[in-house]
Amino acid sequence: MEKKIIDENEIMRIKQNQYAEKAREQICSFAKEDFCPIYKIHTISIFGKSLEVNIFFKTNKELSENNISGKTEEIKNKFINILKELGYFLEFPDKIMFFFDSHENVKKKYKGNYFLRLR
């Protein structure tokens, strides 16, 4: 019985990752068209229960400018809308956490190690 639960959780995680990957591709396209350079996006699926979206700009200055201009909120809303269009919320709850940071910050605080940053 325990193995079956683990397998079901893994299946949910894989499905979430598939949705997240499609949304990541679309949001990167949107950002390029909108002249809002995103350096990197990492998503962490939590076994069908929630999704963590980490969006990185290259510099702290870009992060700050995009926060002030409202671009980070626009990106967040666009990401959620993409997930809606893909049918994500028909299978998964709407517990999505967004975090914005910069590559510059990862280099300074985590010696460039995204694994450490995302823990």
> How does pLDDT run along the chain (119 residues), one tens digit per residue?
556 656 888 888 899 999 999 999 999 888 888 778 899 999 998 888 899 999 999 999 999 999 999 999 999 999 999 999 999 999 998 899 999 999 999 999 999 999 889 98
Total number of domains in the chain: 1
Instruction: Cite the DSSP H helix spans in the chain.
Output: 2-33, 60-69, 71-86, 88-91, 103-110, 114-118
Give the position of tokens 């823990």: 119
Assessment of whether the complete model's pTM goes beyond 0.85: yes
Question: Which residue range is the domain that position 27 belongs to?
Answer: 2-118
Helix (H, G, I), strand (E, B) or coil at 68: helix
